[in-house]
Amino acid sequence: MHTLLLPRLTFALAVFAAVIVLPAGGQILADRLITDLNPGTSGSYPTNFYVYNGSLVFSAYTTNYGRELWKFDGTSVTLISNINSTVTDAGGGVYVGNDSSPGGFAIYRNLLYFSAYEPTNGDELYCYDGTNVSRVTDINPGSGNSFPQQLTIMGNELFFSANSGTSKANYELWTYNGTSASQVTNIYPDSGSDFSSYPSGISLFNNALYFMADDGTHGYELWKAASMSAVLLADINPGNEGNSSYPEGFTVFGNKLYFEAYTSAAGYELWQTDGTNVSGVADLNPGSNSSYPQYLTVFRNALYFQANDGTNGYELWRYNGSTMMLVSNINLTGDSFPQYLTVFSNQLFFAANDGIHGWELWKYDGTNASLVADLNPVGDSFPEKFTVFSNALYFVANTSDTGYEWWKCDGNNVTLVADINAGSGNSYPQAPAVYKNSLCFSATDDGVSNWEPWIIWLAPFQITAISQLGGDLRLTWKTVGGRTNIVQSSDTINGIFTNLSESILIPGSGETMVNYTNIIDIGTRFYRVVQP
């Protein structure tokens, strides 16, 4: 059984004749398997969790259907649509479903859009209205694949990269207006062995789209699109097609768009644009050497990122719009490689290696950078999957006692949330998504193959009433379905509590109310409910 972690919460009632003292409310955090979608040791490998229309939509694999579109409504998991309904004869009378592999979700005009595959029309753009799934366009005619991706809303249109090529790849920027799809512009001429400009990093800034693309002349450079037109905004690294600047990591800060780009003179450095002008921010690592600014994150009116100035190694830097400065040299003998920068509780959290404690959780409070916890004293905890949920920062980390599991930080203290694969085994939580009052994700309880959808459910845990029924008492409390509860009592609030009930398995799922009436020792007693 998975234990209740956080500290264990217990709530007591004091009964003095007719006087009842109710405790303050609290919360519990319970982890459980949502469903064993693909029974047996081979998991369903759920991914692409996305909240839409009150449900959690995701992609998952089952033997019968292949990888298809599913949803979780907080209580049960159901198949939305078997888009690719073909099956393969695996022999011995066993038929295996084929994949539609839905993904790349985006909500546009209150519908959920995504890419999916079926053999007649290939991989194309689909939509889901909460009831029905339908293909909305066939950009690459017939069985060809258009592979729509990077779905981005601008104004009243849905933009994306797609391939219209039938004999040669032709990835360009497309738009869908709710009725029909059309190519925004043909950036790369239809000549040679590949007709594609490969637009990537599509980002919205000041009512325009910015992205990297190759026009066949200037190489991969910065482009700007507005509705049905696209222009080369800047040839940052001048020259022929082989001289690309490869702009990426687009991040809005203040009234400018920042990104990493390359020039032969300065290497990979930080750049900016206001939508008209494009310029380098600083040559942080002088000359043709690169500083490689990454993980650009806005915090307290400044832009923070990992970079290497050629002297201090890869450390945490800050740019406030006018001045670039080293925030902290965390690893004095090498690189700390700060990554996964995440703002929480008015602090900046990240993973870093100080050369002493290994890869652990760090934070910056605006003045000092400090180690939050050395979770794995005998090695690295490798914190990742940072997710802000219910006034805490959740993350996956590894220790020799628990393996890779969920942990949380309240801003100062770190505690284990769930040990899904009990002991030192790994559950490797992946693809976290906040849904209602829960954190949903993919994990394996055997550490090898049994990947299924899991949930960490946050719900009120509170004794709400106590009443006398003849010679008995009725205790009422709020808890989470699917968990075991035990009623206990003690002579004193700090005394030894003993069990009044056997384990009470709460049916169903989600928040529920429970009554227990087998309490006969009326008097000055303290009562509580615990979860083993």
Q: Over the stretch 479-519, which tens digit does the pLDDT of each residue have?
A: 877 778 888 888 776 678 888 888 888 887 667 888 888 77
What is the pTM for the complete model shown?
A: 0.83
Please report the pLDDT score of residue 304 as a whole number: 98
What's the CA angle centered on 307, arms 303 and 342, to 5 degrees? 50
d(CA 309, CA 140): 46
Query: Over the chain, what is the mean pLDDT?
Result: 89
Please report the pLDDT score of residue 29 as a whole number: 55
Q: Are strands 359-364 and 347-353 parallel, antiparallel or unpaired?
A: antiparallel
What's the CA angle centered on 347, arms 436 and 261, to 5 degrees? 95
d(CA 13, CA 22): 6
Please report the pLDDT score of residue 13 as a whole number: 40
Predicted confidence (pLDDT) per residue in 454-470, tens digit: 998 765 566 778 787 77
Please report the pLDDT score of residue 509 as a whole number: 66
At the second CATH level, the architecture of 1-26+461-532 is Sandwich (2.60)
- The partner residues of 159 in beta bridges, in order of sequence, read 152, 175
d(CA 36, CA 451): 9
Please report the pLDDT score of residue 461 as a whole number: 62
What's the CA angle centered on 445, arms 439 and 450, to 5 degrees? 100
Please report the pLDDT score of residue 465 as a whole number: 80
Intervals of the chain under pLDDT 70: 1-31, 458-462, 493-494, 509-510, 520-525, 532
d(CA 428, CA 467): 45
- The partner residues of 262 in beta bridges, in order of sequence, read 268
Please report the pLDDT score of residue 316 as a whole number: 98
Please report the pLDDT score of residue 497 as a whole number: 82
